[in-house]
Amino acid sequence: MTIDVVSTQPIEGQKPGTSGLRKKTRTFMEPNYLENFIQSIFNAIGGVEGKSFVVGGDGRYFNAEAIQTILKMAAANGAKKAIVGQNGLLSTPSASHLIRLNKTDGGLILSASHNPGGIDEDFGLKFNIQNGGPAPESVTDAMIEQTRTLQSYAILRAPDVALGQIGSQSLGDMSIEIVDPVADYLVLMQKLFDFDKIRALFASGFTMRFDAMHAVTGPYAKAILEGALGAAEGTVVNGVPKEDFGGGHPDPNPVWAKPLMDLMMSDASPDFGAASDGDGDRNMIVARGLYVTPSDSLAVLAANAHLAPGYTSGLKGIARSMPTSAASDRVAAKLGIEAYETPTGWKFFGNLLDAGMATICGEESAGTGSDHVREKDGLWAILLWLNILAERNMSAADILADHWQTFGRDYYSRHDYEAVPADAAGQLMNDLRAKLADLPDQNFAGQTVKRADEFSYHDPVDHSVSHNQGLRIFFESDARAVFRLSGTGTEGATLRLYLEQYAPRGTDHGRDTQQALQSVRDAAREISGLTERLGRDAPDVMT
């Protein structure tokens, strides 16, 4: 086997976002594009000589081919070992667990998460560090620098690895272990949750529908829900991973998981509904006749986590991303623990989890997780819900209603304006930023501004500061609007408007969400001039 050192030159635009580098699949397939980025990762972490890594992805188009390139480049650069999911499949939380379990030097995860897959859709690659979490800004900054100066990459000239064959192989001097992607993850879940209690719940006639969206969690859900927990065959639908996710959009929300939503709102609804995304780190929870927002789900899980064996000793703290509603803050206050507000991006939770300052974390974008790994974990959240349902012997809707009676309700919605011209979105944000200081005490659409600012995060562990994390407008009515440009799209810009209105205990908690948020929505639009400036009468996606 021969090591080829290939001359190359820097490629513009290889800057990772909140979850690695995401581009159109055809872009990643261009000559040297993938190879440049992989070599830049290796260089940024001080080389890979003698190191070990976990490698796997969500099975989208180009996943297997990219893994072969990663393995050949790792071998050429002197890596000692690679642990790879069978057929190249690993959910993101499972990859995080394998990094931690095997004490590897990190992992390369191939996914564009909830983005569509296919040759004309999206692809992504990110590096996770030794703690199992996404690379922090210090590492991604080093990666960016490498992409700007790279002159060559090394790759082993060798036959492809047999990704479907479980067991040991070698590639040059590097050993490769092909593993069952589900096995170790299942063992971890059995330690955290009362499988006997959940199995008894299903045996009692409890029904569920889990939509895997033809993404990576299909095999995990089949093995855990229908296998270990005894749920009826057919509980898991769309359970076979496909390169294009069956032509669907693997984002678990009411828009893209509409068949599940329609079922859960019908007379034929099972007791409980759930879905997960492309790489298995996101989740959607649906009660019979009621969508549970990710913000509410985080709060309910935090308030009831002590009912599961892995969390009987209580929580150390609760962390949420800034755009996520304050519902979990109210839980933290009642429990007498800290509530942390971080920027969007799971990497910001890593320091809190490693320092033992937080146990459960969540984002409004359907990501929830705990200190069992360093990624959000869709199936973990679903299993915790099932454990709570089994212990409390109440429906999901009744648990949610009881939660609102105890803590009040944070009406919440996110409005996404997708594929907006980047210059128009950027100018809107710049102009809004310039007027923040003048907004307090002004009235817009019946809402009086209390304060307005741009969110900056001061990490309580390493004391780093992250600026420019979103524009916030707080109203006297205990409402809030947040404007933020997303870093997960691949075309133009995605402008996200987050709306929140608190309804205290003893008030009406049964209003339609969009009606309850209408005045704060109108105020946000008036302040920003969003409708006129973007030429959009309504968001592309509303969750």
Instruction: Encode pLDDT of 130-171 as tens digits.
Output: 999 999 888 999 999 999 999 999 999 999 999 999 999 999
Contact 381, 220 (CB under 8 A): no
The CA-atom distances, in angstroms, between 54 and each of 44, 74, 97, 394, 509 are 17, 11, 10, 40, 46
Say if residue 194 is in the same domain as residue 307.
Answer: yes
Say if residue 193 is in the same domain as residue 176.
Answer: no
Place of tokens 């800004």: 137
Q: Which of 56-60, 289-293, 485-489 has the lowest mean pLDDT?
A: 485-489
What total number of domains does the chain contain? Answer: 3
Q: For 370-422, how does the pLDDT look when each residue is reduced to its tens digit (9 = 90+)? A: 999 999 999 999 999 999 999 999 999 999 999 999 999 999 999 999 989 99
Give the 3-state secondary structure of residue 25: helix
Say if residue 422 is in the same domain as residue 478.
Answer: yes
Domain boundary at 360, 383, 407, which? Answer: 407
Residue 436 CB-density burial (10 A; 0-12 exposed, 13-18 middle, 19+ buried): middle
List CB contacts of 405: < 8 A, sequence separation 6 or more.
505, 509
Looking only at the bridges linking them, the beta strands covering 208-211 and 236-237 are parallel
| Structure confidence at residue 136 (pLDDT) | 87
SS (H, E, C) 388-404: HHHHHCCCHHHHHHHHH
Spell out where 166-303 has E strands: 167-171, 174-179, 208-211, 236-237, 272-276, 283-287, 290-292
Residue 537 or residue 156, greater confidence: 156
Backbone angles phi, psi at 105, to 5 degrees: -85, 5
Say if residue 421 is in the same domain as residue 361.
Answer: no
CA distance 406 to 266: 28
CA distance 426 to 280: 31
| Structure confidence at residue 19 (pLDDT) | 79
Residue 540 or residue 18, greater confidence: 540
Q: Sign of the C-alpha dihedral, residues 260, 262, 265, 268? A: negative
Q: Which of 153-157, 173-177, 309-313, 488-492 has the lowest mean pLDDT?
A: 488-492
Say if residue 295 is in the same domain as residue 316.
Answer: yes
Say if residue 270 is in the same domain as residue 356.
Answer: yes
Task: Please give the model's pTM, rounded to 2 decimal places.
Answer: 0.94
Q: For 53-92, how does the pLDDT look when each residue is reduced to its tens digit (9 = 90+)? A: 999 999 999 999 999 999 999 999 999 999 999 999 999 9
Say if residue 366 is in the same domain as residue 466.
Answer: no
Say if residue 440 is in the same domain as residue 328.
Answer: no
pLDDT of residue 18 exceeding 90, the answer is no
Percent residues over pLDDT 70 in the chain: 99
Q: Sign of the C-alpha dihedral, residues 529, 531, 533, 539? A: positive
Q: For 440-470, how does the pLDDT look when each residue is reduced to its tens digit (9 = 90+)? A: 999 999 999 999 999 999 999 999 898 999 9
Say if residue 102 is in the same domain as residue 235.
Answer: no
Q: For 413-447, how does the pLDDT look when each residue is reduced to its tens digit (9 = 90+)? A: 999 999 899 999 999 999 999 999 999 999 999 99
Say if residue 403 is in the same domain as residue 415.
Answer: no
Of 52, 91, 113, 297, the catalytic one is 113
List 454's β-bridge partners, or say none: 471
Closest to 400 in 3D by CA, of 503, 286, 309, 478: 286
| Structure confidence at residue 488 (pLDDT) | 53
Domain boundary at 180, 214, 240, which? Answer: 180
pLDDT mean across residues, the chain: 96
| Structure confidence at residue 276 (pLDDT) | 97
pLDDT of residue 14 exceeding 70, the answer is yes
DSSP string, 431-457: HHHHHGGG-TT-EETTEEEEEEEE--E
pLDDT of residue 347 exceeding 90, the answer is no
pLDDT of residue 490 exceeding 70, the answer is no
Say if residue 220 is in the same domain as residue 291.
Answer: yes
Based on the residue annotation, tell me whether 113 is a catalytic residue of this protein: yes
Backbone angles phi, psi at 230, to 5 degrees: 75, 20
Segments forming the whole domain that contains residue 314: 185-407
**Per-residue burial over 269-306, b = 16 or more CB atoms within 10 Å of its CB, e = otherwise:** bbbbbbbbbbbbbbbbbbbbebbbbbbbbbbbbbbbbb
CATH code of the domain in which 486 resides: 3.30.310.50
CATH code of the domain in which 211 resides: 3.40.120.10
Domain boundary at 373, 407, 441, which? Answer: 407
pLDDT of residue 520 exceeding 70, the answer is yes
pLDDT of residue 501 exceeding 70, the answer is yes
| Structure confidence at residue 489 (pLDDT) | 52
Say if residue 424 is in the same domain as residue 519.
Answer: yes
